[in-house]
Chain A
Amino acid sequence: MRIPVETYTLSNGLRVVLSQDPATPIVAVNLWYHVGSANERAGRTGFAHLFEHMLFQGSEQVGANEHFELVQRAGGTLNGSTWLDRTNYFETMPSHQLEIALWLEADRMARLLPAMTQEKLDTQRDVVKNERRWSVDNQPYGTWWERLPALCFPGDHPFHHSLIGSMEDLSEASLEDVAEFFRTYYTPDNAVLTIAGDFDAPIARTMVERHFGAIPRGNGRPPLADMSVPPTFGGWRREVVPDAVVAPRLFLAFRVPPAGDGDWYAASMLGAVLGLGEGSRLPKRLVRELQIASDAGAYTFDLSKGSDLLICDVTARPGVSAERLETEVAAEVDRLITDGVTAEERERALALLETSWIAGLQSAGARADKLSQFATYKGDPSLVNEEPARHAAVTVEAMNAFARARLGAGNRASLLYVPNAAQEAE
């Protein structure tokens, strides 16, 4: 079960990945730009994401609302997303509509700025502020995904600050910022273009050259600040957040190697043992046996630079105290360190990961995104095909050694939400 991969680079530095699968007449176009909130300058938190919104506001040959309209008219789906260290844009099209997607992506990569206006920026700034209200401010536990990186990375680290950004910084963003960010980061040599699904490779190559070939290379993006951090937290950090919530929720994070690097696969396997599926340790103990939690899981944050995080995410039943929740979650992690993982737990995790790997291959868009990811982060899209083997290569001994080294009290960060009323009563 391998994703076919063909890769080459245009003279302007754009890396191109082609992955053919003619089973259904669908083709996915996927662009990763190697820029995210980590690249924002001081006072501009949220800008990388606001900029992503601006990329849907038209370009020299594309009208204001035309980007979405042309794709939908062609019978395709589309979107974009911003993460700490990358931004992606993607369309899935009926295969005979491949070229319209390439043309749209190329026009905005080459000629975004002629279409930028103050009015469009002001509108998208307000849209993003509403996105912040909707997903963060007016949502129980909604601040977790900006508080957790802030707790886990030092104040001057590029992953420390908020991805969605502060209202103040969003207000400050200007058209000059748009132009500068575009010229610096939205260049062919800072991007990967993947085409996956039903297409003819020679024709696709010709289309790619026609639309992207003449776009000039960038002037070299500035280097990121040093992303390295010590391998562990060196202690147990805690932040308690009183919030308008009905029950406590704990995010217990461990610093682990960057996603896809060496021992990261042991962390990923331990995440599955702890919290993938109802039969994994945290749900079995906290939800089924102790009945103090309504939901429990564990996952990696998937950061590819400096350090990733393995996170246990457990929501208490209403009425259960935050202290009890944290104590029992920690006790379950301690038990894993002390008693070790069994061979059966490892087999269970591998079986679940195998099914989800194959299920993920069904979607052209998902295949394209994975290929762009590995090309961007690891320099080689074909490494995506090694994922099952790399997980399978993790032995019980390696998991136990990793758990002893990285899951103990010397490498923990607790972000603990508590209901407002409970906090006042204490």
Chain B
Amino acid sequence: MTGTAGLPPRPIAGVPRAYEFPAVHRFALANGMRVVVAPMPRLPLVTVLALIDAGAASEASGLEGVASLVTRTLAEGAGDLDGAEITARFERLGTAFDASADWDSSVARLTVTRSRLDAAFALFATVLRGATFPPADVARRRDERLAELAQQLAEPRGLADERFAGFLYPPTDRYARSASGTPRSVAALDAEAVRVFYADHYGPRTTTLLLVGDITADQARLLAEAQFGSWVTGARAAAPVEASPGAVRRRVVIVEKEDAPQSELRVGHVGVPRSHPDYLAIVVMNAILGGLFSSRINLNLREKHAFTYGASSGFDWRRGAGPFVVSTAVKSEVTARAVEEIMREIDGLRAAPPEPAEVALATDYLAGVFPIRYESTSAVAGALAGATMFGLPDDWFARYRDRIRAITPTAVHAAARTHLDPDRLMVLAVGDAGVIEAPLAALGLGAVERHASDDDPAEVAR
């Protein structure tokens, strides 16, 4: 578009200034613990992150949720300190011990001002090395997790996410159940289960320590050696995760929510592991399909049809094959039409290569926002932890933007044809069956299965 007479014309970009991802220093302590340091000296702030190589995927059957419960109870007792005292000490230092477990790892982290780092780091190490897991506190944290699960399943979005995984993966697959466990599995957990998981998986050989912020590699080495140098445990590395093929046929599932004004929709299938060589092409392909506001699915469902407040797609990256899913919430009456449009966009991206300008939008966006994503110590620590967990090469971040820009329309098209599979799509709607069932059936995608909201496929089949 050219400028209207008399008005300032559309500007052209200036000259880009060079950006460097923070330099990364890596070393190991004598006990095998790996340390990663990324100095970001702009502000007097440090993020400390311990990445433990054990997540939900390492849990035994029946103990789903134990990795998460370990992280929730780590700071409930250490040495002769109780949980209330540990919390108080961290907070007096202006920080909080924040731990959680995901599929492939567990993470403990805190962000603290530089002047309080030494004290906070010592307490951080005390907790990680010496957690005592008092039974009463484990029981309380377990019950809090059960309350959280009840809240999550009462919420249409949470219920849709949970059931999508449950119906998508076979009940024998760990991925069929939430990473934090199910009501049944969590209810069975106790201090003994938590202690066993901790003893098996927490130790110097399974832990990578990341220090990011106002700190040098030498300072980090001194701190790490002082607090973790004498740590010895019998913990072993996690077993590799088997990739699951997941459901191989098309399914349409309604999870009933009477009188719902909207349907929470999930459309997708099992994706591929993070280690897949097509990773970057899939990232760009997904950005075009549904990863951005300006992506095809959002422009179609929101800006063209006004079916929804927003629609997006994503691949959930794990060591095993996590789901690919399109997520949206649409007015009940248009549920089937929204499914049709989603399928049309998936078919469309498979039918022909996207125009170079559309690919450039995605690649320029992904390369451009890279520095914006990594403004904070916490974001850089999280990114480096992810790279460690997935075993990415050391130059991953340095080369990321060039590699993204090198993705071509042909590569995007190939990724769509290989990694989007209309014949395997599962459609799941949490909504008012009375309104949405007949139109969904009329799409001809297969028989429509109806399930009550408390009908948990992963539990029923066990």
Contact = CB atoms under 8 A, between A and B. Distances in A.
Interchain residue pairs A-B with the least CB separation, the first 10: A75-B368, A351-B94, A126-B306, A99-B11, A25-B17, A96-B14, A131-B309, A355-B94, A294-B147, A279-B87
Interface string B84-127: 10011011111110000000000000011100100000000000
A348 B4 contact: no
A239 to B, nearest CB: 21
Contacts of A1: 43-44
B132 interface: no
Interface centre among B11, B96, B376, B378 (most CB of A within 10 A): B11
A31 B98 CA distance: 34
Interface string A67-82: 0110011111100000
A199 to B, nearest CB: 10
A77 B372 contact: yes
Contacts of A124: 306
A291 B19 contact: no
A57 to B, nearest CB: 9
A38 interface: no
A326 interface: no
Interface stretch (A136-144, A151-159, A229-237, A257-265): A136-144
Contact of B88 (A279, A291, A364): A279
B371 A25 contact: yes
29 contacts: A24-B371, A25-B371, A61-B1, A62-B1, A65-B294, A68-B293, A69-B294, A73-B360, A75-B369, A94-B372, A95-B14, A97-B14, A98-B14, A106-B8, A123-B306, A126-B331, A130-B262, A130-B308, A130-B331, A135-B309, A138-B261, A140-B154, A246-B150, A277-B87, A277-B96, A278-B87, A288-B83, A291-B143, A355-B112
A25 B16 contact: yes
Contacts of B264: 138
Interface in A347-362: 347-348, 351-355, 358-359, 361-362
A76 B369 contact: yes
Contacts of B91: 277-280, 348, 351-352
Interface of B: 1, 3-4, 7-8, 10-11, 13-19, 42-45, 83-84, 87-88, 90-96, 111-113, 116, 140, 143-144, 147-148, 150-151, 154-156, 260-262, 264, 292-294, 299, 302-304, 306-309, 329-331, 360-361, 364-365, 367-372, 375-378
Interface residues of A, number: 84
B13 A288 contact: no
B7 A72 contact: no
Contacts of B371: 24-26, 94
Given A61-B10, A351-B94, A362 B143 contact: no
B154 A288 contact: no
Interface of A: 1, 23-26, 60-65, 68-69, 72-77, 92-100, 102-103, 106-107, 111, 122-131, 133-135, 137-140, 198, 207, 210-211, 244-247, 277-280, 284, 287-288, 291, 294, 315, 317-318, 344, 347-348, 351-355, 358-359, 361-364
B10 A294 contact: no
B123 to A, nearest CB: 13
Given A96-B14, A103-B8, A210-B8, A61 B3 contact: yes
B309 A127 contact: yes
B392 to A, nearest CB: 22
A100 B8 CA distance: 11
B134 to A, nearest CB: 12
A72 B11 contact: no
B372 A92 contact: yes
A355 B111 CA distance: 8
A276 to B, nearest CB: 9
A367 B116 CA distance: 24
A361 B44 CA distance: 11
A5 B42 CA distance: 18
A294 B371 CA distance: 37
A294 B152 CA distance: 13
A96 B364 CA distance: 14
Nearest to B377: A362
A contact patch SS: helix
A210 B368 CA distance: 25
A133 B262 contact: yes
A371 B372 CA distance: 19
Nearest to B19: A25
Contacts of B7: 60-61, 107, 111
Contacts of B113: 354-355, 358
Contacts, number: 217
Given A76-B368, A95-B17, A344-B92, A318 B156 contact: no
Given A94-B368, A355-B111, A362-B45, A133 B151 contact: no
Contact of B13 (A100, A127, A359, A362): A100
A364 B13 contact: no
A107 B16 CA distance: 24
A134 B329 contact: yes
A100 B11 contact: yes
Nearest to A315: B151
A352 B8 CA distance: 47
Contacts of A60: 4, 7
Nearest to B47: A359
Contacts of A134: 262, 308-309, 329
A317 B264 CA distance: 26
B92 A75 contact: no
Given A72-B293, A130-B330, A63 B96 contact: no
B418 to A, nearest CB: 26
A210 B369 CA distance: 27
A124 to B, nearest CB: 8
Contacts of A107: 7
A399 to B, nearest CB: 17
B280 to A, nearest CB: 17
A102 B306 CA distance: 29
Contact of A284 (B84, B95, B111): B84
B224 to A, nearest CB: 22
Contacts of B13: 74, 96-97, 99-100
B367 A359 contact: no
Contact of B365 (A72, A294, A351): A72
B308 A137 contact: no
A132 B106 CA distance: 36
Contacts of A65: 294, 299, 303
A111 B45 CA distance: 44
A100 B140 CA distance: 53
A208 to B, nearest CB: 11
A60 B42 CA distance: 41
B368 A362 contact: no
A210 B95 CA distance: 45
Contacts of A318: 147, 150
Contacts of B83: 288
A420 to B, nearest CB: 11
Contacts of B375: 24, 26, 362-364
B306 A198 contact: no
A211 B302 contact: no
Nearest to B299: A65
Given A75-B369, A95-B17, A279-B84, 15 more contacts: A1-B44, A72-B294, A73-B361, A107-B7, A122-B306, A123-B306, A133-B331, A134-B329, A138-B156, A138-B260, A138-B329, A287-B144, A291-B140, A355-B112, A358-B45
A254 B227 CA distance: 45
A1 B43 CA distance: 8
